[in-house]
């Protein structure tokens, strides 16, 4: 018998992919409900190897989903809940149109609710899986916590994000898990280490909110993500609090929290309440405070003694970092952003306060003599205490990144601050410009070189000034020395003619010509390039073009830095000249 011939696109990529239109027809959902379901379940479009086969020969570019993903969605019970929503909306609409208010009230009291607990458990089987995917969750929740009441974002959702983010910040403070901080134009970057997992998130600056048009940002789509992330963050906070022996939800011994969060209309009031909560510890289930000591496994066969020693040094640094501000008391002026500083200082064992007449939650006054540092962001102050340092906020961030208390002389009031460098850049990166200040962050030898360079620059400026004075004195002696040198030259010429007769020419030693060696290396490199296979040639060319582009960027940045330093040097010279003229 003749075997039955298979239809075209019945196997291979044609059978493995499905268009979005076909998926909607199979699931019998609207486009909005399908999008919502895909976001909650973590299903995304796939890119096929051969688009023509995956689209069954159809032209254009279409959104494709894997068939297995759509079959996975068919067994999801949320689909029935979404259909209940559709029926509910029709019933409510009909009762409102007919003015049947009794039925309308009954429908509204029994409206269907969507529960996402089982989806969180399904997507994150273990607690560590949830921590690995926490970066986007925190960033979006912190963003929504700053939103006022806007269209397509429920007000209860913003209030829930505020509560959950404050709870997470308290957990980080109690665990002393913060490791790195950075201030950028986007906001404050934080990196914490929880249960061995590194978590990085962004907290936006607290500016006045300006609503954008729907064409620029789809708030409804973002709100769907937040709907899932709030449930996920609630699970994580619950586990974190119980692992730290804390009550959940947290109980504040000093600050009385308002249960009705809708009453907080003014953003300034909200920020004050939030910072006041951060300034006080949460209540613990057990009174004993026990710090976990990191134990390093020394019996591992893979790790060498050098790696074990590095791990021990790193553990010791982290232990010192946790108590970086221990025993220090900080007073924050009104012009300084309080929330990031309170969070950072409390993470590392310090005490913070501010003016109690301006904001709630102050723990001590400005007149307290035990205050060691006062954080200000203004050029000068009328009243100052001798017993404390007046520093700018950047000192706190740079000290955390350096893992030690930096000298305060560069961060005094009115001083030009050193560059604020990002700690999130890889130290061993290749083909990228690394400024000398950043090298000094990780390499102590580079730090010494930087100090030496600064000292030599100052010495060279002084030497140049001394040379200008000496030039005037030397010009007078030149005329007298010229006559003596003419007589000496005549005597030397007579002696050199006698030595030429007795001269012996030594043999020539063969020396390698450096340019010939480099020429040979270039020729060998070109021959190796010709051995690259045709299928890899385009990739190789793009890699080389990227390398050339990066080298060009490094050269431009170095040139820019050199010109900037020369300009600063000239300005310092002019400033010194003006000071001398005035004195």
Q: Show pLDDT as tens, one digit a residue, over the chain (583 residues).
A: 566 777 787 888 888 999 999 999 999 999 999 999 999 999 999 999 888 888 888 888 899 999 999 999 998 899 998 888 889 999 999 999 998 888 888 988 888 888 899 999 999 999 999 999 999 999 999 999 888 777 778 888 888 998 899 999 999 999 999 999 999 999 999 999 999 899 999 999 887 666 666 567 788 888 999 999 999 999 999 999 999 988 888 876 544 444 444 444 455 566 667 777 787 887 777 654 455 555 555 555 566 777 788 888 888 888 888 888 998 999 999 889 889 999 999 999 999 998 888 888 888 888 888 999 999 998 888 888 888 899 999 999 999 998 889 889 989 988 888 888 888 877 666 677 777 777 766 666 655 666 666 666 656 656 665 655 555 555 555 555 555 555 555 555 555 555 555 566 777 777 777 778 888 888 898 898 888 898 888 999 999 999 899 889 989 988 998 898 899 888 888 888 888 888 7
Specify the CATH superfamily of domain 308-424.
Answer: BRCT domain (3.40.50.10190)
Nearest to 391 by CA among 369, 414, 367: 414
**Cα atoms found within 13 Å of the Cα of residue 78, Cβ hemisphere only:** 18
Q: Which residues contact 565 (CB under 8 A, 6 or more apart)?
A: none
CB 549 within 8 A of CB 542: no
**Cα atoms found within 13 Å of the Cα of residue 281, Cβ hemisphere only:** 16
From residue 581, alpha-carbon distances to 467, 468, 469, 470, 574 in Å are: 18, 16, 16, 19, 11
Nearest to 403 by CA among 315, 296, 332: 315
Dihedral pair phi/psi, residue 508, rounded to 5°:
-85, 135
Three-state secondary structure call for residue 200: strand
Alpha carbon distance 102, 88 (integer Å): 15
The encoded tokens of residue 324 equal: 């970086």
Alpha carbon distance 460, 468 (integer Å): 12
CB 282 within 8 A of CB 174: yes
CB 345 within 8 A of CB 322: no
CB 388 within 8 A of CB 371: yes
Total number of residues shown for the chain: 583
Angle at Cα 413 formed by Cα 409 and Cα 414, nearest 5°? 105
Across the beta sheet with 178-183, what order do the strands follow? 178-183, 187-194, 197-204
User: So where are the chain's domains?
Assistant: 13-109, 117-207+219-278, 308-424, 432-465+536-583
CB 257 within 8 A of CB 249: no
Three-state secondary structure call for residue 342: helix
Dihedral pair phi/psi, residue 543, rounded to 5°:
-65, -45
The 3-state secondary structure of 354-407 reads CCCCCCCCCCCCCCCCCCCEEECCCCCCCCCCCCCEEECCHHHHHHHHHCCCCC
What percentage of the chain's residues is helix, strand, coil (to nearest 5)?
55, 10, 35
**Cα atoms found within 13 Å of the Cα of residue 226, Cβ hemisphere only:** 27
pTM for this entry: 0.77
The encoded tokens of residue 162 equal: 């505020």
CB 280 within 8 A of CB 253: yes
Nearest to 165 by CA among 270, 71, 29: 270
Dihedral pair phi/psi, residue 106, rounded to 5°:
-65, -40
What pLDDT sits at residue 254?
Answer: 46
Alpha carbon distance 583, 577 (integer Å): 10
What pLDDT sits at residue 488?
Answer: 58
Helices (H), 56-190: 67-74, 78-98, 101-109, 117-123, 127-132, 134-144, 155-175
Nearest to 234 by CA among 319, 315, 164, 136: 164
Three-state secondary structure call for residue 194: strand
How far the first Cα of the chain sits from its last, in Å, is 113
């Amino acid at each position: 018998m003749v075997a039955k011939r298979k239809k075209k696109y019945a196997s291979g990529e044609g059978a493995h992919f499905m268009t979005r239109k076909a998926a909607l027809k199979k699931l019998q959902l609207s486009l909005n409900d399908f999008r919502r379901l895909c976001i909650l379940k973590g299903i995304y479009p796939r890119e096929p190897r051969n688009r023509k086969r995956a689209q069954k020969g159809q032209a254009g570019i279409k959104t494709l989903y894997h068939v297995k993903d759509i079959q996975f969605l068919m067994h999801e019970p949320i689909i029935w809940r979404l259909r209940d929503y559709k029926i509910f909306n029709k019933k409510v609409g009909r009762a409102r149109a007919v003015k049947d208010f009794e039925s309308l009230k009954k429908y509204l009291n029994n409206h269907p609710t969507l529960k996402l607990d089982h989806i969180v458990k399904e997507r994150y089987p273990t607690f560590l899986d949830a921590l690995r995917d926490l970066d986007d969750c925190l960033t979006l929740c912190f963003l929504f916590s700053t939103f006022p009441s806007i269209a397509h974002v429920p007000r209860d959702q913003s209030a829930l994000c505020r509560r959950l983010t404050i709870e997470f910040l308290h957990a980080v403070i109690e665990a002393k898990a913060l490791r790195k901080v950075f201030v950028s134009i986007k906001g404050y970057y934080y990196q914490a280490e929880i249960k061995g997992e590194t978590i990085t998130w962004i907290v936006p600056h607290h500016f006045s909110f300006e609503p954008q048009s729907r064409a620029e940002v789809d708030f409804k789509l973002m709100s769907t993500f937040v709907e899932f992330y709030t449930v996920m963050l609630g699970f994580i906070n619950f586990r974190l609090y119980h692992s730290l022996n804390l009550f959940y939800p947290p109980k504040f011994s000093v600050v009385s929290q308002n249960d009705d969060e809708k009453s907080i209309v003014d953003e300034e009031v909200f920020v004050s309440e939030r910072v006041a909560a951060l300034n006080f510890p949460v209540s613990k289930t057990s009174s004993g405070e026990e710090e976990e000591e990191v134990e390093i496994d020394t019996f591992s066969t893979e790790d060498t003694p050098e790696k074990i020693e590095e791990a021990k040094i790193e553990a010791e640094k982290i232990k010192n970092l946790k108590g970086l501000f221990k025993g220090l008391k900080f007073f924050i002026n009104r012009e300084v952003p309080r929330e990031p500083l309170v969070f950072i200082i409390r993470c590392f064992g310090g005490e913070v306060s501010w003016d109690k007449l301006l904001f709630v939650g102050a723990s001590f006054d400005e007149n307290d003599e035990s205050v060691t540092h006062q954080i200000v962001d203004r050029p000068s102050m009328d009243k100052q205490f001798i017993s404390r340092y007046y520093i700018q906020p950047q000192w706190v961030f740079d000290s955390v990144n350096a893992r030690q208390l930096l000298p305060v002389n560069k961060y005094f009031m009115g001083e030009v601050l050193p560059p604020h460098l990002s700690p999130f850049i890889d130290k061993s990166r290749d083909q990228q410009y690394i400024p000398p200040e950043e090298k000094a962050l990780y390499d102590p030898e580079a730090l010494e070189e930087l100090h030496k360079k600064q000292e030599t620059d100052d010495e060279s400026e002084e030497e140049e000034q001394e040379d200008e004075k000496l030039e005037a004195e030397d010009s007078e002696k030149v005329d007298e020395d010229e006559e003596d040198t003419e007589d000496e030259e005549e005597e030397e010429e007579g002696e050199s003619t006698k030595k030429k007769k007795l001269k012996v020419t030594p043999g020539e030693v063969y020396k390698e010509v450096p340019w010939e060696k480099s020429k040979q290396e270039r020729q060998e490199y070109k021959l190796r390039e010709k051995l690259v296979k045709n299928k890899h040639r385009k990739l190789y060319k793009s890699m080389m073009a990227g390398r050339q582009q990066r080298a060009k960027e490094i050269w431009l940045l170095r040139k820019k830095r050199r010109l900037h330093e020369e300009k600063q040097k000239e300005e310092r010279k002019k400033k010194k000249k003006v000071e001398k003229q005035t004195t």
